[in-house]
Structure 1
Amino acid sequence: MKKEFAVIGLGRFGGSICRELAEQGMEVMAIDTDEIRVNEFALIASHAVVGDTTDESVVKSLGIRNFDHVIVAIGDNIQASILTTLILKELGVNKVTVKAQNDYHEKVLKKIGADVVVHPERDMGRRIAHKLVSNNVLDYLELSDEHSIVEIVANERLGGHSIIDLDVRAKYGINIVAIKRRDEIIVSPQANEAIKYNDVLIVIGADNDINRFEKKMLA
């Protein structure tokens, strides 16, 4: 079942999240006060809307409270970011992730109920998008434009199977290079190594192949 996201603010940060979520097949509503930016995302997002999210009536009209996750990626206007976040939480949005400009901004956002606060210089849009799509993805590190390393928590579908049973190299073109199991780290695990539920798998591969694996095995 597809998750539904709304991205408010389509600058470099919000735009990168919007693009990545759309590429992963998610339903995404893109929102900005700038009509030119909104038009840029008309063919990328499921819906692209010009709107001022500091106006509660506008937010209500967009039906945002029904979305699984809202990302507030408003640029330099800290007041608009805070007010938008406050409105979203008062309307009962389940999960709100907000971009903070500085530590003070982060403190305010947490006090008014933001579920996750990120700093763009530390958390790039693509990395966050992968974590949003699947609860099993712990971390996502880009090695290049096309290859990444991902930390994945083994779910029930993966647990109980050996690496050779899953055959992820042949099926998806990715490699499990290590397994974290409590305080133990298994480097270059053998093909007959059995994966246990809640193991953390360190996976390396091309982004397209990792995306296929996430959609098939972690959805």
Structure 2
Amino acid sequence: MRKQFAVIGLGRFGGSICQSLRKQGMEVLAIDTNEDKVNKFANVVTHAVVADSTDENTLKSLGIRNFDHVIVAIGDNIQSSILTTLLLVEEGVKHITVKAQNDYHEKVLNKIGAHRVVHPERDMGVRIAHNIVSKNVLDYLELSDEYSIVELMAGTSVSGKSLIELNVRAKYGCNIMAVKRGDEINVSPSANESLQIGDVLIVIGADKDLTRLEHALFNEED
């Protein structure tokens, strides 16, 4: 049975989530106060409605409590974001993810019961910063304040070396979860796996350890 999602706020962030969820075959209700935005996504999502999410009766009439997950992607109106989240919590929605504008906004959202708070602009900034520091850092995903997953592209410094030779776990405290070569992904690769230029290593570890690993083995200049 497909999960049902509701996305409140159809700006760039909310609209992107709607499109991605539909591509994965999920049922999506898109909500916004702007009729033009709603019309834009009418043929993308399962249902699209013009509605004020800060009105309790409106949310009830939409059956919002029956959705598996509600994403609050309201843009610059922090007051509307907070009030909408509070109403969703009171309605007993199972999973509530909210976009935060700043740290103060995040603190309020956490206090009133949001299940997950995201900072898309800040998170993307972190990913881009890691990417531009080294051409070998392809992607960066923060798991917590201290741990992350990073995609590192093998260059000349590691080409021809096996994972056991690199000994990443012992030397840097990181774990290589998978090696991607072309379209093939080798999960839990053998210690004898020999790396080639262009291989992508998916590595998990503490941020300080990942930084040491990046600088030592994957920080090649153009």
Q: Is the 8 A contact 1:6 1:70 kept in 2?
A: yes
2:58 counterpart of 1:58: yes
Q: What is the match of residue 88 of structure 1?
A: 88
One-letter amino acid of the counterpart of residue 90, structure 1: E
Q: Is the 8 A contact 1:97 1:115 kept in 2?
A: yes
After superposing on structure 2, the runs of 4+ consecutive aligned residues of structure 1 that deviate more than 6 Å are 138-141
2:176 counterpart of 1:176: no
One-letter amino acid of the counterpart of residue 64, structure 1: I
SS at match of 1:43: coil
One-letter amino acid of the counterpart of residue 113, structure 1: G
Q: Root-mean-square deviation (CA), in Å?
A: 3.2
CA distance in 2, matches of 1:33, 1:140: 38
Give the gaps of 5 or more residues in structure 1: 125-137, 144-168, 180-184, 191-200, 204-219
CA distance in 1, matches of 2:63, 2:202: 38
Q: What is the match of residue 159 of structure 2?
A: none
Structure 1 residue 122 displacement after superposition = 3.8
Q: Is the 8 A contact 1:72 1:97 kept in 2?
A: yes
CA distance in 1, matches of 2:123, 2:27: 22
CA distance in 2, matches of 1:113, 1:79: 15
Change (3 A) 1:186 1:6: farther
2:2 counterpart of 1:5: no
Give the gaps of 5 or more residues in structure 2: 125-147, 154-180, 195-200, 204-222
Summarize the alignment of residues 92-131 of structure 1 with structure 2, pairs less than 5 Å apart.
92-123=92-123
- Cα-to-partner distance string for 1:124-160 (whole Å, 9 max, x where unaligned): 6xxxxxxxxxxxxx9798x9xxxxxxxxxxxxxxxxx
Q: Percent identity?
A: 68
Per the normalisation by structure 1, the TM-score is 0.60
Q: What is the match of residue 38 of structure 2?
A: 38
User: How many positions carry a matched residue from both structures?
Assistant: 149
Q: Is the 8 A contact 1:29 1:48 kept in 2?
A: yes
Change (3 A) 1:88 1:186: farther
Per the normalisation by structure 2, the TM-score is 0.60
Change (3 A) 1:84 1:140: farther
Structure 1 residue 116 displacement after superposition = 0.3
Q: What is the match of residue 176 of structure 2?
A: none
2:37 counterpart of 1:28: no
CA distance in 1, matches of 2:122, 2:192: 29
Find the structure with the greater CA-based Rg.
2
CA distance in 1, matches of 2:119, 2:82: 15
Q: Is the 8 A contact 1:32 1:51 kept in 2?
A: yes
Summarize the alignment of residues 133-212 of structure 1 with structure 2, pairs less than 5 Å apart.
174-179=183-188, 202=202
Q: What is the match of residue 76 of structure 2?
A: 76
Structure 1 residue 23 displacement after superposition = 1.0
- Cα-to-partner distance string for 1:175-219 (whole Å, 9 max, x where unaligned): 22453xxxxx857869xxxxxxxxxx959xxxxxxxxxxxxxxxx
